[in-house]
Chain A
Amino acid sequence: MTTTADTQPGRGDGRSGAGGPGGTETETVRQHASGDPFDRDDLPTAKGATSTLLRSLLAPHRRELALTVLALLLQQAAVQSGPLIVAYAIDSAVPALRTHTYGPLVAVGIAFLLAACGSAAFQYAYVHYSARVSQNALLDLRGRIFRHAQALSVDFHDRYTSGRVISRSTTDVESLRELLGEGLQELVTVVLASVYITATLLWLDLEIGSVAALSAVPLYVLIRSYRRRAARAYGERSTAIAAVVVKFAETLNGIRPVRAFRRERVNDAAFAALNHRHERANGSALLEMARYVVGSRLIANTAVAGMVLWGAYRVADGTLALGVLAAAVLFVRRLYDPIDRLAMFLNAYGSAAASLKKIAGLLGQVPSVPEPAAPRPLPRAEAGRPGRAVQFADVAFGYRTGGEVLPRFDLTLPAGQTVAVVGTTGAGKSTLAKLLARFYDPTHGRVLLDGVDLRDLATAELRRAVVMVTQEAFLFSGTVAENIAIGRPDATRAEIERAAKAIGAHDFIAALPDGYDTDVRKRGGRISAGQRQLVAFARALLADPAVLILDEATSSLDIPGERAVQRAMDTVLRGRTAVVIAHRLSTVEIADRVLVMEHGRVVEDGPPGRLVAGTGTFARLHKAWRESVVGSG
């Protein structure tokens, strides 16, 4: 409700060579129709999903929640007993003392001491338990978002962008934290205090109490109008800050071109405009709050004056005890103390509700590549035949946004075959690879691995068998060794080094300050794009899969790097089934078979020698490529 733009630095584009979604040119242009819920960052949620989510977060902590409320009830009881004790002291203890009866005075002293201790102890208990409830709920929520985001398919991530997932698990969780941590306390305190005080006032004196209760009506009207106006003001503010954040993040992520193209002053001006808009919106939101405070104070103070007037009259008449008036007056002032804070709660609630809605939208997404309910095992691999056969049986694929990417086709890759897939931008090469890696499921037909549908394989088994290396060579923070070990977490150091050596990465790794133990810092630090791709290959080598898919995995490698990869495939990975997608046709030389794709269809299929000799697309591509490498060895 608050923002349509993303409030967090988007990190999809222009970053770390990761390329746009998909990384390759397959998804040329993503639909940007304003009607797409992904672009508006407004995923559909079932009705009441927000409150269902909140309930499900709090439900497991029912006991603590009950203790929290109990502690707060008792704390308020202890706090609010003060004026009653004062009333008792004036109306009973004073006359008693005059007759030298000390009992009531002792009672007053003990009662007050108990009240003090009680309110301190219950205050402690309340903060303690409420922190437990809120921290446990947040832990749960963070975990849910994380696990769900991990479970969602690559297809989803392509469209949702990383920035939004990060935003969901940071700023949005944070706004719930504020609500649970402070906002809720405000609300409960306000409600409890009001109920207590009004009830006590009614009990002390029905008429004074009625005035107090009646003052709730104008207050309610005021709060309603504030909510409406604040929603608008705060919505405007959060839209404005989102724009500021986007500009900020974009500048930081593109700092090199910003500098090289002297954008500083232009950016300063553009930022100043956005910043000013936020400043105005921010000021207006603060003024809205000022208006509310004036209104609420006016109502409160008028009510107090009214009650004192009425009470004083009746004391003068003799129909009201002086102590009761004193107590009532002490109470009344307190009744209106927390109304300022109510506004803060409303703000916290507004932004938390908006955040929860977005989170619920994310959690409501169903993974389009679900785990099988009853997984089937792969048949045992034959000794000495490490590869596995792949079969696309009557497969078709189209993105959810519409448009068929791959019309129905059949394709069989025998075990151990190295297949190169070539074709122009948008021919569907990457989609083919992603179907084989089960990043997507086909919209029709089945992809079989040694006769088993990929959909029937447990994730662990599938990932052991099929590994895909993409153009995007992302490094996780940690050491180089740890990054390679992602391929096989239980690998020894010797095995890691062997993999690095096989791919020709050992030399540069050994030259790093701490060798294999060098921290790659944030996002790969100064390890160059080519070196990152080598690390990614070492990973794949270590994983030792039956089927290896290389999707543009050599784009940043120089020729020796590319040769090392080819050598490794020829030696270490010999006998694996391999699917290689490359712009550069040098890779094709090691292939047993070439598939030429155009508009989602395989238009040529055969051994490279035969295709080169022919007159088809591949022969033309190959000729162009030969010309581009004139003079090379």
Chain B
Amino acid sequence: MADRNLGVMDRPSTPAQPSATRTLLRLWPYVRPVRVRWTAAAVTAVVASCLGLVFPLVLKWIVDGPVADRNPKGVWLGALALLGLGVAEALLFGFRRWLVARPLASVEAALRADLYRHLQRLPVAFHDRWPSGQLLSRGTTDLMVVRMFLAFPLTFLIVNGVTIVVGLILLLSQDWGLGLVLLAPAVPLIAVCYRFEDAYARVSRRAQDQVGDLTTVVEESVLGIRIIKGFGRHRSQARAFRELSHTLRGTELTKARLLAGILAVITLLPEAALGAALVVGTVRVADGALSAGTLIAFLSTALALRWPIESIGFLLAMSQEAATATRRYFEVMDAEPESTEVARASAVGGEGPGAGAGGGGLRFEGVEFRYPDAPAGSAPTLHRVDLHVRPGETMALVGATGSGKTTLTALVPRLYDVTAGRITLDGRDIMTMPRDELRALVSMAFEEPTLFSASVAENVLMGAEGATPEQVARALDVARADFVDGLPDGVGTQVGEQGLSLSGGQRQRLALARSVVGEPRFLVLDDPLSALDVHTEAAVEAALRRVLADSTALVVAHRPSTVQLADRVALLSEGRIAAVGTHQELLRTNAEYRYLMSGGTAAPGEAARG
């Protein structure tokens, strides 16, 4: 499993990164489908760029030929040739862009679609570790950087490389002495670029991470605005922000210094060589060893090479940024998704799928669970949980704050997998069921009710595809979500991030409706009534009791009112089921339960032992 050592944020350990080239090569499977067009575009760009190098040759011909001969016809011819070349160059430039515009957009889209698909299938534990903002930035800005890389730096590193080589050959063939003078700075330039690339990559990764930290402060200061205001802590928040933004500014300035340095070197060396070539060339023209036309053509070619050479610096910088973006992308793509494999029915339990009287319902057998990122040596969150919820029975799950109730519920639809033991539904080990089948069988309502940007009806229908409008109406009725009728478009009203904001209680009721709409066989509800006021809670309970009569249900409960929904109660304590019985029984026999339900005088320590 990758990324296990992820720090507090998602920072991967910096050492031992593969080289930029190796990283970028991983993009090949995505580039493959467009390789023909992309290659054609690159070739087109090379041709166009080389056409640019022919201009000086035509100039030379004009100067040394028709102009020297005072031949107007020749001048016309030369100008026409120039025009032709110019039109060809323009069309080729356009053709190149036309060739890759749509394919590159499709590469970006394919990368994004794969990321989205992959993220949806990564274990929930992965999402616990990675802030959504970090994943989002990988799906947006990073992919744009990659597309830009394929469109420009990659193409132009090739194009400019070829242009430089062809140009140098032309220069050498025109006059190899002058050519060598121009070629002199190549070696130091390459060395400097190489070192620059390394340093720049490090600083730019640092800057990206600092931007992430800064974003975190902004995010928290907005999400926690009521607390900051409530305690008047905006100053300390502002101080943290100021420090981070100053650090970022420092890093950005370091980056700029590096860039300034490399650009200066890239400007200076070729210019100096050009100056030397001019001096030597002037002497040779004076000696008559060189024609004026050749010198003009030579310098013109050399000048035409200036942009390709100068551009190498920032093309490398862009490639470096693309490599970082690609690395960030594959950090996520390399994470192992939830396995789709289904374990063979294990012989351990012995009961088999026979679903005998004792095997039906929801059964936890010796279930142990430890979060994958829990520190080594710490006690598992759950150990040896044994619990049997009989078919059609509603079991309340009660336990002290932080005892692992929510964790236990998440094991049933396999949002996390047990580390030991097993869970069976009607006798079938959930590990032997395809996740889709399992999740179709088990319906959930979470502690934090999440609605998606869709209509009320669509949100409820997520619980059961193909449910009829009557069923939706019934589910809304069970959840006492009568406020829906008062919404602008009734059940058609858009809610969620892009729609109407609903209050916590309203969202909770819709989430509840979603969980019951399909009349599921197994129902797992995590404190489903916490945000409701007394009146609503009582009404929902009455309706819910009817639904629960037909389902096998596990309901996390914090208070007696919710416990009333259940036939029996299980007490979760210190990672295992400490007691099972009816509410009244447990009140009589179990001190901890009594303490949890009535807040009696028993000290927690004693209660736990009771």
A465–B104 CA distance with the chains assembled, in angstroms: 60
In the complex, are the beta carbons of B225 and A154 less than 8 A apart? yes
Mask for A56-75, Cβ within 8 A of B = 1, else 0?
00000000000000000000
Q: How far is the CA of A532 from the CA of B497 in the complex (A)?
A: 24
B286 adjacent to A522 (CB under 8 Å): no
Measured between beta carbons, the chain A residues less than 8 angstroms from B59 are: 308, 329
Q: Is B498 an interface residue (CB 8 A)?
A: yes
The yes or no answer to B42 lying at the interface (CB within 8 A) is: no
Q: Contacting A531 at CB < 8 Å: which of B104, B132, B401?
A: B401
Checking B82, B260, B285 against A305 with a beta-carbon cut-off of 8 angstroms, the contacting residue is: B82
In the complex, what residues of A have CB within 8 A of residue B238's CB? Answer: 146-147, 150
Residues on A with C-beta less than 8 A from B527 are: 556
Contact partners of A255 in chain B: CB under 8 A: 120, 124, 127
Checking B101, B113, B223 against A271 with a beta-carbon cut-off of 8 angstroms, the contacting residue is B113
Distance between B600 CB and nearest chain A CB, rounded to angstroms: 5
Closest-CB distance, B468 to chain A (whole angstroms): 18
Instruction: Mark out the residues of chain A between 545 and 575 whose CB falls within 8 Å of any chain B CB in the assembled complex.
Output: 555-563
What 0/1 readout, one digit per residue, does chain A (17-59) give for beta carbons within 8 Å of chain B? 1111111111111101000000000000000000000000000
- Whether, in the assembled complex, A455 has its beta carbon less than 8 Å from a beta carbon of chain B, the answer is no
Within 8 Å of chain B (Cβ to Cβ): is A609? no
Let me know if A17 and B448 touch, CB within 8 A. Answer: yes
> What residues on B are CB-neighbors of A13 within 8 Å?
450-451, 496-497, 501-502, 507
A629 in contact with B560 given A322-B63, A329-B300, A460-B232 (CB within 8 Å): yes
A108-B279, A116-B268, A268-B116 known; A9-B538 Cβ under 8 A: no
The CA-CA distance from A257 to B452 in the complex, in Å, is 10
Q: Which residue from chain B places its CB closest to the CB of A75 in the assembled complex?
A: B267
Does A275 sit at the interface, judged by CB under 8 A? yes
Interface extent on B, as a size class? 35 or more
Interface flags for A287-321 (1: CB within 8 Å of B; 0: not) read 10111011001101110111011001101100000
The residue in chain A whose Cβ has the minimal distance to the Cβ of B250 is A135
Binds A, one of B13-21, B71-79, B424-432: B71-79
Measured between alpha carbons, how far is A151 from B232 in the docked complex, in Å? Answer: 11
Interface residues on A, range: 35 or more
A150 to B225, CA, bound (A): 7
Contact status A154-B413, CB under 8 Å: no
Find the residue from B87, B151, B245 having the highest chain A CB count within 10 A: B245
Q: From B76, which residue of chain A is reached at the shortest CB distance?
A: A309
- Complex Cα–Cα for A163 and B223 (A): 9
- Asked whether A470 lies within 8 Å of B292 as measured between CB atoms, the reply is no
Interface string of B386-430 (1 = CB under 8 A from A): 000000000000001110001000100101000000000000000
Q: Whole-angstrom distance between the alpha carbons of A606 and B532 in the complex? A: 25
| A166 lies within 8 A of B215 (CB) | yes
B534 touches A293 (CB 8 A): no
B473 interface contact, C-beta 8 A: no
A366 at interface by CB-CB < 8 Å:
no
Binds B, one of A276-284, A374-382, A395-403: A276-284
Q: How far is the CA of A329 from the CA of B483 in the complex (A)?
A: 77
A301/B87 in contact, CB under 8 A: yes
B554-606 contacts to A, CB under 8 A, are 558-561, 564, 583-584, 587, 594-600, 604
User: A-facing mask of B275-290, CB < 8 A → 1, else 0?
Assistant: 1101101110111000
Q: B132 contacts A131, CB within 8 Å? A: no
Say if the beta carbon of B8 comes within 8 Å of chain A: yes
Q: Decide: A262 near B436, CB < 8 A? Known: A12-B497, A271-B113, A460-B232.
A: yes
Q: Does B180 contact A (CB under 8 A)?
A: no
Are B93 and A9 neighbours in the complex by a CB distance under 8 Å? no
Whether B488 and A286, one on each chain, are in contact in the complex, defined by CB atoms closer than 8 angstroms, is no
What 0/1 readout, one digit per residue, does chain B (217-258) give for beta carbons within 8 Å of chain A?
011111111111111111011100110011001001101110
A117 vs B275: C-alpha distance when bound (angstroms): 11
Our pick among B55, B67, B282 for the contact of A105 (Cβ within 8 Å) is B282
With A170-B215, A246-B497, A293-B93 given, is the CB distance from A628 to B538 under 8 Å? yes
CB-CB under 8 A from A492, the residues of chain B are none
Residues of the A chain whose Cβ atoms lie less than 8 Å from the Cβ of B132: 9, 249, 252-253
What is the CA–CA distance of A527 and B381 in the complex, to the nearest angstrom?
Answer: 12
Shortest distance between the CB of A92 and any CB in chain B (Å): 10
Is A16's CB under 8 angstroms from B448's CB?
yes
Q: Is the CB of B224 within 8 A of A439?
A: no
B303 proximity list for chain A (CB < 8 A): 82-83, 330, 333-334
A112 at the binding interface (Cβ < 8 Å): yes
| Chain-B contact segment, one of A93-101, A198-206, A411-419, A442-450 | A93-101
A494 in contact (CB, < 8 A): no
Residue-wise interface mask of B (429-469) relative to A, using a CB-CB cutoff of 8 A (1 in contact, 0 not): 00000001001101110111111110000000011000000
User: A163 vs B66: C-alpha distance in the bound complex, in angstroms?
Assistant: 68
What residue of chain B has the Cβ atom nearest to residue A87's Cβ?
Answer: B296
A424 and B415 contact, Cβ closer than 8 Å, known pairs A86-B299, A251-B120: no
A405 within 8 A of B: no
**Which listed segment binds B: A122-130, A218-226, A351-359?**
A122-130
- Quick one: which of B70, B97, B442, B503 contacts A25, CB cutoff 8 A? B503
Counting CB contacts under 8 A, is B90 at the interface? yes
Q: Which 7 A-B pairs have the closest CB atoms?
A: A301-B86, A633-B598, A463-B232, A131-B256, A112-B275, A97-B286, A294-B94
Q: List 9 A-B contacts (CB under 8 A).
A: A24-B504, A304-B86, A312-B66, A312-B67, A322-B67, A330-B303, A425-B503, A474-B224, A558-B558
